[in-house]
Amino acid sequence: MVIAFWSNANEKCPVTANMAAISVASVIRYPYSVVMMENYLGRSSLRAAFYGRETIRFMNEAGSNYYDGNGMEGLVRRIYRGDATKHVLTSYIKQIIPDRLSYIPKGRVIHNEIFDYEFEYGIEHLLKMMEGYADISFIGTASHHSLSTKTILQKADLIVVNLCQNQSILDEFFLNYSSLISKSVFLISSYEYHTKLSLKKISHMYDIPLENLVAIPENELFQVACMNGGVKDFIDYYNGCSRESPNFLFMHAIRKATYLILKKAVEAERNKGLEEEMLHMLQEEGKEGAGFPPERMYCASI
């Protein structure tokens, strides 16, 4: 299953933080393995959320900086050069929770446009490699002007759209990205409970089923964890916290979002399987009916 995390306003809606929290909750609470990646280069990174701000190793060659081969850029470049065998992926993966949660790290050593071009070129191979490695692929995607983002959103079984209680951001999404709605669930981040733009109001204004919306309240302690490699420990420690805990509302929201996302993704994959099975049946019937008169072939197809 491929689950894409996306926002039309990445700088205001915490896509990376939400994906990090939900990935850990997914493998703690459910019997799935998850592999994660991001299709962009930049400061906002799963690396910081899980490993802190560790220094990326470089080596200097011929006056230029090259990544040492252990990250997304190196993997994308190998795929671009034709090396897309299944075993290649494992050497680029870092384990967060052994055999359950893993991550293909990234750096920032080539120009974003070059990276995006090579990423788009190899995305089909990369998705197949990830599918063979883990049950679920979580992909953090860039907001705008990305070749690969468009492809990922098209191929994803489910899109997790990250929004907030900002009227202009909400209007912009529902006006310009309505084609994504049918296979999306929505996280409303930094949620404030006593405002006019409540979850029910958003549901009513944009005709979105309330059950497809989850409010994620702000949590300062979690934000600190995201910047210092503490996401795994935070989610693990507070997963079963009591109602009296200041982290209860946040963790309750993460558990609710995780359940909704996995439920919808499984349903989407099941429906896709049924569609493929039906298409195969129709194709077989079409072959059998190749010599039929038009009327008989029509009946056979029905």
CATH number, position 117: 3.40.50.300
Distance CA 8, CA 173 (A): 6
Residue 92 or 118, more confident: 92
Per residue in 161-202, pLDDT (tens digit) is 999 999 999 999 999 999 999 999 999 999 999 898 999 999
Among 29-33, 61-65, 133-137, 151-155, name the one with the lowest average pLDDT: 61-65
Sign of CA dihedral 55, 81, 156, 12: positive
Phi, psi dihedral angles at 271 (to 5 degrees)? -65, -40
Q: Which of 41, 120, 128 is nearest to 85 (CA)?
A: 128
Q: Which of 71, 60, 66 is nearest to 36 (CA)?
A: 71
Q: Are 140 and 47 in contact (CB under 8 A)?
A: no
User: Which range in 57-66, 129-138, 269-278 is most confidently predicted, on average pLDDT?
Assistant: 129-138
Domain count across the chain: 1
What share of the chain has pLDDT > 90, as a percent?
A: 58
CA atoms within 13 A on the CB side of 46: 32
Q: How far is CA 181 from CA 81, 158, 161, 217, 225, in A?
A: 36, 10, 9, 23, 31
pLDDT at residue 280 in the model: 67
State the DSSP H helix or E strand holding residue 196, giving kind and residue range, or none if neither.
none
Q: By residue range, what is the domain housing residue 267?
A: 2-301
Distance CA 299, CA 205 (A): 45
Query: What pTM was computed for the model?
Result: 0.85
